[in-house]
Structure 1
Amino acid sequence: MKPANAIQERVFEFLKQYPPFNLIAQEQLRQLAGQVRVQYLEPKQVLFRQGDTPHEVFYVVRQGSVRLEQGPEEARRLVDVCDEGDVFGARALIAKKNYSSTATAAEETLVYGVSIALFDPVLRHNPEVVLYFAAGFAAGAPVQQGNMQETQAARRNLGSYTAHQPLHLEEVLTLETNHSKVTCTPQTTVRLAAQIMSDKDSSFILVVNEQEHPIGIVTDTDLRKRVVAGPISIEDSVSAVMSAPVITLKPNPHMAEALLLMMRHRVKHLCVTSNGTANSPAEGVLTEHHLLLAQGNNPAVLVQEIRQTQRIDSLPAIRNRAEELLQKYLEQDVNIAFIANILSEVNDALIVRALEYAESILGEPPLRYCWLSIGSEGREEQLLRTDQDNALVFEDAHAGQEMEAQAYFVKLAGLVNEVLASCGFERCPANMMAGNIKWCQPLHTWKQYFHAWIHEPTEEALLNASIFFDYRPVYGSFELAHQLTDYIYEHIQQERIFLPYLAKHALQSPPPLSFFRNFMVERGGGHKDQFDIKLRAMTPLVDAARVLTLDNRVAGENNTFKRFAKLAELEPQNAALYREAAVAYEIMMRHRALSGLRNHNTGRYISPEQLNKLERQTLRNTFKLISDVQELLQVRFQLNYLS
């Protein structure tokens, strides 16, 4: 018995280092460890294949690595690489489905097989473990992931964050029956059901029998797939389009229970009935939206609080909660473009509220004006609270009125810069802020700036152009910004030499890797031995997307993700490259945000020693895209011939 106990203890000591096992009570984990199956895999040995019936265990890599791949054997694509401590094969645990990928040992590998039957009670009673699987941290879990298959494994930070992250999974969910109970009979026509849904502003309608027992549900998705794009007529009865059976649960469920049911059955609607079964009257429907609202930091709530607060000194605390929201989204591997959009909404609301506050102090503006966000905030890509980058344009008037107006707007911008600084957005070291009179100018002066930058592309002009081209109107008269945009694109088309010079400028960022594929770190200063992910990895893609979008005469699109998406649409021959570049940029943004949260800074400088083997490989893979995109710039603009 002693040898068995010794093995059990070694398994226990290993598992307790890694999520989700570090979230389980030690005695319970020790019992699990005693039932773990140890399996040795030769290099290239297949553990299970895509489409296979699930095993009775899910797996943890003890030593070595396992590749998860999808598709036919002759054309498999890499989905994930599982390293030491990674969980995989958990699809059987959560979705009760056949394997969605093929698991192959990449080298000599030891894996632990954890019994699904023994683990199920843990999943039922431990909301933190539910969160682990809900967030998709187990490789191959049935959740939505990004598009760059070779870099899916860059999300291994649960252990760093969940210990202090407030969880709400034990919260009891309640329903307002009058809002969550939208019903019809099976004989109701699709047309009438859709009308009821529209009148009630509901994403669903519950189909019930005479006893009010639920027998099916019709959702917006059902209508799109089966009626709009399918064979069913709007005059048919809803019984032909409804999804059945309905997944039911008891009143006042815990969030963990609801979340687990939604995951297991891959649904977004759960029917609450009087006794939790389909053989009792329906009381309402719990939607994915309810779960979102039940979370502490709902972005819509934050924005509403910012807009409605009467006390400017309360804004910093509200903005701090947005940082908590960012952390939660990153833990759950939410799409970075979506996170950036959410935080941009929060930041924009903050700017607008600060401007309203400044106007209340200084009085009504003497002229129409527009506040412009520039840099990463202008591109809607500012995840962390980095330094401020903004500008202000006001309408043209006679000289005396312009001078008087400018004095007002500089004061107004100064107040706004002060409010933003109090909320954690440091002042720009280069003073590229609207409170600087140089960047608080009438429309005709801004036109002069851009005219000079476009027609006389010096190094300083190109630097300014790369910063100010990404402006985005946030508040005031957007027409002023639109007029400036029209002027800029008119002159870019006139001055053909400008884009090649801008492309050349885009190639000046130093390379991310050395000849030996080591990270190029800073050689001295306050960031010695750290990697500048902004300058060496992110800026080259931002600059390239900007130049290529301008070359395609696409006006008014600043966001790097959207720029690459538009380029993929306009240049089908390069579509794959642009899509990969967009995902590479997303991964870099994620790494920077995680680093910033971990180290309580802007995340710009990353210590390579803080990255595990897989994270380093993930970043190296994304860097390959930089050279590919820059080579495209080199060829398109014939930069070898540009002096």
Structure 2
Amino acid sequence: MEAHVVGSLEMLLRCAPLSVSPEAAVREVLRRMCVEDAAEAVVVAPVTGRPLGILTQRDVVERVALPAESLDGPVAGVMTGGVVALPRTAGVHEARLQLARHRLRRLVVVDEAGRLVGVVSREDLYAVRRPRADDLIERIQAVRDEAALTSVARQVSAGAGALVDGGEQAGRVGEWIALLNDLLAQAAIDIAEAEFELPMVPWCWLAFGSEGRLEQTLHTDQDNGLIFLAADEAEAESLRARFLPFAQRVNILLDACGFSLCKGGIMAGNPCWCLSLAEWRGRFSDWMRSASAEDLLNATIFFDFRALVGDVALADSLRGWLLAAAADNALFLRFMAENALRSGPPLGRIRDFVVDRESGRLDLKRDGTRPFVDAARIYALELGLPETATVERLRAAGAVLRWGAREVGALSEAFEFILQLRLRRQRVPGTPPNQVAPDELNELERAFLKESLRQARRLQDRLRGRYQL
């Protein structure tokens, strides 16, 4: 099990990487690695500074020492080429996915121009690892057919439940679930891709809603879509017809893995959500322009998106456009804020909690985590923040708006406590998965829940004041 590491890769870069030219002799590179106590040397292009390859001590043993090659040859002849590089703004979750998918020990980090800025290793991304997580990752990587996929999916589900039962923090459980669920989805896409001849155009599988925010719990359905590049409307129609059978196959595979088909049809196999980049922009633009109740509901789901598999640049382009368009539409943001403030946390003036009269329960999703999620989304859209996870959005918004560190910390802890309760309730058989009766909690849990809901109310008060509602 990995430690709870969040933020961008830039936050993990502690020192400048050792970089060498392709012509440098292996002997000289090894000498510098020893002097600078570096685990690896990155080979970069002399003019552009872009990484070309990487050399580790293991590479030297396997490619120089054992075959008795000369140490005076150029490092380009023994380096590992084709490095996997991520921008320094990339998130930790994306880096973990790349490590697992490509079976790597380290990733190269680059700036906006593609120049080397650092290296992150498994140890940087995972302060603590448990054998079970590694074992499941390896099993997912070995999947080649539907039977193997569904088998390992059941093991992932059982593992997630065991973590909740063991008292792991919600943030750590969420990271574990997100990483393995993403790998399962990637495996399903790989299986389906092998069954169809897809168009030779850029495309990307998108995750929406809680999956897009990396906040999936133990019980979740599918919220996904597909984005592709098309020259015009006619080409978009032609490409959609070719992508849909593939996307529908992926949806079926994910359903077999336990990610139930979305009752609202928010799936890539639905023609409504298998769109070109221009069509996605048009759809988002229509929602922001009319801002009906249905449009606002769609925004709460679709605007929390992230790339899962494929050409990430398409998702980045859509996000950049969305953030610019939303920030320039004050009326739409006001409608979003009004919608988010229609209901508040279930806190009573006389009693501690306001519960449903018939069941005696309160809804931890609707009344607990949603106020945090909705407010964080609105701040992200207004301030142009690319983060999708709720806690990361709150931290980024707090930095821009100069909220106190204690306030941001309290908001984050409150959100994760309620999420922890949701996870625990989902492990109780025969009860509604996101509901709890306050009497079922012990005194300390009730106190924590009450304070967490107060934090939600304070966040809503901030939103209310900002939009003068």
Per the TM superposition, whether the score is higher than 0.5 is: yes
Distance in 2 (alpha carbons) for counterparts of 1:388 and 1:447 = 22
Q: 1:332-356: CA deviations, max 9, x gaps?
A: 5444323322221111111111111
Q: Which amino acid in the other structure matches residue 637 of structure 1?
A: Y
Match of 1:431 among 254, 262, 265: 265
Where does residue 408 of structure 2 map in the other structure? 578
Which of 251, 261, 264 is equivalent to 1:417? 251
Q: For structure 1, which runs of at least 5 residues remain unmatched after alignment?
A: 1-134, 136-143, 147-190, 202-288
Q: Deviations along 1:410-429, whole A, 9 cap, x unmatched?
A: 22221111111111111222
Change (3 A) 1:432 1:522: farther
Equivalent of 1:627, from 426, 435, 457?
A: 457
Letter in 2 for 1:626: A
Partner of 2:227: 393
Q: Is the 8 A contact 2:344 2:457 kept in 1?
A: no
1:618 and 2:448 equivalent? yes
Q: Which moved more, 1:616-625 or 1:361-370?
A: 361-370
Tell me if structure 1 keeps the 8 A contact 2:169–2:420.
no
Q: Give the conservation status (yes or no) of the 8 Å contact 1:388–1:428.
A: yes
Q: What residue ranges of structure 2 are gaps of 5+ in the alignment? A: 6-32, 41-55, 59-125
Tell me, yes or no, if the aligned pair for 1:373 and 1:390 is still in contact at 8 Å.
yes
Distance (whole Å) between structure 2 residues aligned to residue 291 and residue 572 of structure 1: 32
Change (3 A) 1:442 1:513: same
How well do the aligned residues superpose, as a CA RMSD in angstroms? 2.9
Task: Using the TM superposition, give the Cα deviation of residue 545 of structure 1 relative to its aligned residue in structure 2, in angstroms.
Answer: 0.8
Question: Of the candidates 340, 357, 373, which is equivalent to residue 542 of structure 1?
Answer: 373
| Counterpart position of 1:474 | 308
Partner AA of 2:138 in structure 1? Q
Letter in structure 1 aligned against 2:37: Q
Which residue identity lines up with residue 443 of structure 2 in the other structure? K
Q: Say whether residues 1:195 and 2:53 are aligned partners.
A: no
SS of 2:428 mapped into structure 1: helix
Aligned equivalents of 1:486, 1:197: Cα separation in 2? 36
1:565 is matched with: 395
> What does residue 453 of structure 1 align with?
287
Contact 2:178–2:214 (CA under 8 A) maintained in structure 1? yes
Deviation string 1:551-582 (CA, Å, 9 cap, x unpaired) is: 2221x210011111212322334443222111
Tell me by how many angstroms 1:619 deviates: 1.0
Cα deviation, 1:186-211, whole Å, max 9, x if unaligned, reads xxxxx95973866668xxxxxxxxxx
The one-letter code sitting in structure 1 at the alignment partner of 2:376 is: A
1:395/1:442 contact within 8 Å kept: yes
Instruction: Name the SS of the counterpart of 2:354 in structure 1.
Output: coil
Deviation, 1:603, is 2.7
- 1:294-347 alpha-carbon deviations (Å, 9 max, x no partner): x4x22x331232122112222223122223332343355444323322221111
Letter in 1 for 2:228: F
| Aligned mates of 2:232, 2:464 — CA distance in 1 | 46
Change (3 A) 1:366 1:517: farther
Counterpart CA distance in 2 for 1:628 and 1:510 is 10
Q: Secondary structure at the match of 1:597?
A: coil
Distance 2:207 2:294 in 1: 20
Residue matched to 2:384: 553
After TM superposition, give the deviation of residue 590 of structure 1 in Å: 0.8
1:589 counterpart residue number: 419
Contact 1:413 1:434 (C-alpha < 8 Å) held by counterparts: yes
1:408: which partner in 2?
242
* CA deviation after TM superposition for structure 1 residue 600, in Å: 7.2
1:532: which partner in 2?
363
| 1:500 correspondence with 2:342 | no
Q: SS of the residue aligned with 2:426?
A: helix
Letter of the 1:389 counterpart: D
CA shift in 2, pair 1:613/1:290, >3 Å: closer
Residue 521 (structure 1) shift:
3.4
- Equivalent pair of 1:392/1:441 in contact (CA under 8 Å): yes
| 1:356 matched to 2:190 | yes
How far the C-alpha of 1:595 sits from its partner, in A, is: 1.0
Amino acid of the structure 2 residue aligned with 1:632: R
1:145 and 1:333 in contact (8 A); partners too: no
Following superposition, the deviation at residue 454 of structure 1 comes to 1.7
Give 1:136-147 correspondences, 5 Å limit: none
Contact 1:370 / 1:393 at 8 angstroms: preserved in 2?
yes
The residue number in structure 2 matching 1:46 is: none
Q: 1:530 and 1:398 mapped to 2: Cα distance?
A: 52
Q: Which amino acid aligns with 1:588?
A: I
Change (3 A) 1:398 1:552: closer
Query: What is the Cα deviation at residue 610 of structure 1?
Result: 3.0
**Amino acid across the alignment from 1:306:** I
CA contact (8 A) 1:584 1:625 kept: yes
- In structure 1, C-alpha distance between the alignment counterparts of 2:432 and 2:219, rounded to whole Å: 7
Q: Is the 8 A contact 2:226 2:274 kept in 1?
A: yes
Partners of 1:439 and 1:486 lie apart in 2 by 19
Contact 1:306 1:350 in 2 (8 A): yes
Check whether the contact 1:371–1:475 (CA below 8 A) recurs between aligned residues.
yes
Q: Which amino acid letter does the alignment assign opposite residue 374 of structure 1?
A: F
Query: Where do residues 74-223 of structure 1 align in structure 2 (5 Å cutoff)?
Result: 192=34, 195=37
Q: CA deviation at 1:398?
A: 4.0
Closer/same/farther in 2, CA of residues 579 and 291 from structure 1, 3 Å limit = closer
1:327 paired residue among 161, 164, 169 = 161
Shift in Å, 1:402: 2.3
Deviation at 1:444, TM superposition (A): 1.3
Separation of aligned partners in 2, 1:302 and 1:473: 22
CA distance in 1, matches of 2:432, 2:395: 27
- Any idea what the Cα deviations from partners look like across 1:368-390, whole Å, max 9, x if unmatched? 21111000000001131311111
Closer, same or farther: CA 398–521 of 1 in aligned 2, 3 Å = same
The answer on whether the counterparts of 1:567 and 1:578 sit within 8 Å (CA) in structure 2 is no
Residue aligned with 2:269, SS: coil
Q: State percent identity of aligned pairs.
A: 29
Question: CA separation of 1:291/1:472 partners in 2, compared to 1, >3 Å: closer, same or farther?
Answer: closer
Aligned to 1:514: 348
Task: Identify if the C-alpha distance between structure 1 residues 562 and 485 changes in structure 2 by more than 3 Å, giving closer, same or farther.
Answer: same
- Cα distance 1:292–1:476, how it changes in 2: closer, same or farther (>3 A)? closer
Distance 1:549 1:196, change over 3 A: closer
Deviation at 1:292?
4.4
Q: 1:607 to 1:422 in 2, by over 3 A?
A: farther
Q: In structure 2, do the counterparts of structure 1 residues 196 and 356 end up closer, same or farther at CA, with 3 Å as the change threshold?
A: closer
When residues 575 and 602 of structure 1 are mapped into structure 2, their CA distance, relative to the original with a 3 A threshold, is: farther
Equivalents in 2 of 1:465, 1:437: separation in Å? 18
Question: In the alignment, residue 416 of structure 1 is paired with which amino acid?
Answer: V
Aligned length: 361
Q: Hey, which of these two has a bigger chunk of helix by percent?
A: 2
Read off the aligned partner of 1:559 and give its amino acid letter.
A
Q: Structure 1 residue 588: deviation in Å? A: 1.0
Looking at structure 2, the residues matched to 197 and 483 of structure 1 have their Cα atoms a distance apart, in angstroms, of: 36
Output aligned runs, 1:282-301, within 5 Å: 292-293=129-130, 295=131, 297-298=132-133, 300-301=134-135
Quick one: which amino acid aligns to residue 371 of structure 2? P
How far off its partner does 1:638 sit? 0.8
CA distance in 2, matches of 1:387, 1:480: 24
User: What amino acid is aligned across from residue 197 of structure 2 in structure 1?
Assistant: G
Change (3 A) 1:145 1:321: closer
